[in-house]
Amino acid sequence: MSFAENALAGKTALVTGGATGIGAAIVRKLGKLGARVAITSRKEDNLKAAVQGFAEEDGIEVIYRVGDVRDSDGIAAVISDIGSQLGGLDILVCNAAGNFICPTEDLSSNGWRTVIDIDLNGTFNCCQAALPFLKNAASGGRIISISSTHADSGWPTAAHAGAAKAGIQNLMKSLSAEWGKYGIRANWVSPGPIEGTEGVDRLIIAQGKAREVLNRIPLGTFGQGEDIANAVVFLAGETGAYVSGTELVVDGAARWGS
Ligand code: COA
């Protein structure tokens, strides 16, 4: 799928967790369409390698800052710094996430808290820190959170992540209502299983569940990172001007019920 060349020229964007997986695919797409992009995550090695890859393979310059979305003061400083470096912030993509497989009866309270903290609290922290910049975005600030179709279906053995993703969706609805007066649109993309991500490699393929999952996807394949990136661009660009407080599902019509 292709968007108009330079569809995002003049825009600035921050993608949390943008060094790897779906986040990196989003960065590539935003950058190729002309946006100036920053990424943040906890591991500097990942960030450095990603920025080098974006430059060498995609011809796009991306800046990075090390940050942990759980640390509200720390990530606020990072976002403030990025906003100053980029000369503003039009688009915030809340993509950073953590997850692991664990039956809920065995899950420690710290395990539960850790994933809620990264996924849900981290999204809140980033939205609040980015607000002063998003308020000033010329065509209306855009918040796009990466959720999951498991927010609706439940996520057996990853109940912590399922609950966090459901919380993110509700948070986006609240922000769309509260921050519409600032011209800010807040939406979320719900990916199904996306090839080459931890979610598919570790949580599906490594568990020997690839065939079982593919049988539940009428389009017959796992999605690609670019499929999610295309959805993000739709919401981030002029195409998303009158879309707020809602979900864009990108899952090949997957069905998880019995
Ligand atoms: N099974 C059960 N509990 C687990 C677990 C697993 N596989 N992995 C972590 N936990 C628990 C820990 O035991 C700990 O709880 P405890 O103190 O009661 O023992 C708690 O979660 C925090 O773990 P810790 O490793 O200290 O947290 P962290 O902040 O360093 O990392 C994650 C948390 C989620 C980022 C980590 O699990 C991780 O690196 N996951 C892989 C990367 C990833 O999630 N990518 C995104 C995929 S969508």
- Domains of the chain and any CATH numbers: 12-249 (3.40.50.720)
98 Cβ closer than 6 Å to some ligand 1 atom: yes
For residues 186 and 50, give the distance between their C-alpha atoms in angstroms, rounded to a whole number.
Answer: 27
Give pLDDT, residue 258. Answer: 47
Dihedral, 230, 52, 59, 86 alpha carbons, nearest 10: 70
Give pLDDT, residue 199. Answer: 81
DSSP string, the chain: --PPTTTTTT-EEEEETTTSHHHHHHHHHHHHTT-EEEEEES-HHHHHHHHHHIIIII---EEEEE--TT-HHHHHHHHHHHHHHHTS-SEEEE---------GGG--HHHHHHHHIIIIIHHHHHHHHHHHHHHT-TT--EEEEE--THHHH--TT-HHHHHHHHHHHHHHHHHHHHHGGGT-EEEEEEE--BTTSHHHIIIIITTT-HHHHHTT-TT-S-B-HHHHHHHHHHHHSGGGTT--S-EEEESTT-----
Q: What six digits make up the tokens of 182?
A: 């600032």
Q: Which of 90, 75, 89, 98 is nearest to 21 (CA)?
A: 98
Between the alpha carbon of residue 180 and those of residues 59, 176, 177, 191, 243, the distances in Å are: 35, 5, 6, 25, 11
Find the 47 Cα to ligand 1 centroid distance in Å.
Answer: 20
102 Cβ closer than 6 Å to some ligand 1 atom: yes
Cβ(38)–Cβ(65) under 8 Å? yes
**Atom nearest to 100 CA in ligand 1:** 7
How does pLDDT run across 26-77, given as a tens digit for each residue? 999 999 999 999 999 999 999 999 999 999 999 999 999 999 999 999 999 9
Give pLDDT, residue 135. Answer: 98
Find the 171 Cα to ligand 1 centroid distance in Å.
Answer: 24
CB neighbours (10 Å) of residue 157?
16
**Looking at the whole model, is its pTM more than 0.85?**
yes
Q: Which residues of the chain have pLDDT under 70?
A: 1, 257-258
Give pLDDT, residue 1. Answer: 58
17 Cβ closer than 6 Å to some ligand 1 atom: no
